[in-house]
Amino acid sequence: MKFTVYQESRPGGRPNNQDRVAYSYSRDSLLMVVADGMGGHLHGEVAAQIATQYIIEAFQASAIPKIRDELLFLSRSLANAHNAILDYAFEKGLPEAPRTTIVACLIQDSVAHWAHAGDSRLYLIRRGRTIMQTRDHSRLQLMIDQGLITEEEAAVHPARNRIFSCLGGTHSPQIEFSSSTPLFANDLIVMCSDGVWGNLEPDELVDLLCDADILERSPRVMDRAESRGGLTCDNLSMLSMRWHDDYAEDSPSTVSTDTMPLDAITTQMEGFARSRLPEGTGLSDNDIESAIAEINAAIKKFSRFDPNR
């Protein structure tokens, strides 16, 4: 495999960052994940952390060097991440489990497979246009589909953040899966939370990224979305990946897995971070350490199951 990848997550105008973004790859397989936590102080952040960490750890245990069944892996790892969030809420005595959106993309043999719940999005951009895009599991998307409102009206609608499917919460998630999608040289996959796409015009991602160096241009996309969001900007997370076939000319930023050992895994994952806001308005070191211990305990209960079997 050969690809170039960029990931970033920012708090925007919020005290804490409840988004999580991560990617992990073996010699023959690449997994990318974006999650947007929802809930009160800390809990949405914990839900996103549990979901991302569980899915990444399941990949690390199974991609040696390849996932045997892509659809089964996505289905079981997302379902188990949901159950781990519920278990965390039960152990903590929470009246309701915290929630998180999720979008996960698995690539093997130059074929992409993805699954999502909620309104964190995946775009597949080819030759200057979006050829595939996830559909938001949101009340507004249903209204758009029924012709009740336009996309322009949806952008400013007061219910634009209401979703009907997620991991955690009180209902089982409605997880939507893609078909197997072949990738070609220079294809671009962009995954992002609503803090990014919600502050951009529909075609801006394509216009800004389609033929660009994603390592140089992706931060500028984030800057534009954050500027548009203003002082109350939501958390922003984006993962952009340019695919290269075996005959593409390598650049210094290209990841090539050809020489990786069969049992090697490389992972990049965002974690808890101290708030940049004044003391007392964000998470303390004790909050973070306690949350990490509780997250690891919740994940451990479900890690005995191998989603690749």
Instruction: Report the C-alpha gap between 138 and 174 in whole angstroms.
Output: 11
CA 244 and chain centroid, separation = 21
Instruction: Report the C-alpha gap between 17 and 36 in whole angstroms.
Output: 9
b/e sequence 245-254, b meaning 16+ C-beta within 10 Å: eeebeeeeee
* Span 162-173, pLDDT tens digits: 788 999 998 899
Contacts of residue 168, Cβ cutoff 8 Å, sequence gap at least 6: 47, 51, 82, 85, 86, 89, 97, 98, 99, 100
81 or 155, greater pLDDT = 81
CB 306 within 8 A of CB 61: yes
Answer whether residue 279 shows pLDDT above 80. no
pLDDT band at residue 291, thresholds of 50, 70 and 90?
confident
Instruction: Report the C-alpha gap between 21 and 24 in whole angstroms.
Output: 11
What percent of the chain has a predicted confidence (pLDDT) above 70?
A: 87
- The residue among 270, 300, 293 whose CA lies nearest residue 35 is 270
* Span 5-18, pLDDT tens digits: 999 999 999 989 99
112 or 150, greater pLDDT = 112
- For the chain, how many residues are written? 309
- The CATH number of 2-132+160-302, from 3.40.50.720, 1.10.10.10, 3.40.50.920, 3.60.40.10, is 3.60.40.10
Annotated domain spans of the chain:
2-132+160-302
* Span 210-256, pLDDT tens digits: 989 999 999 999 999 999 999 999 999 999 999 996 433 455 567 88
- The residue among 245, 252, 183, 195 whose CA lies nearest residue 222 is 195
- The residue among 185, 27, 163 whose CA lies nearest residue 103 is 163
Q: How far is CA 45 from CA 16, 84, 214, 288, in A?
A: 8, 14, 27, 10
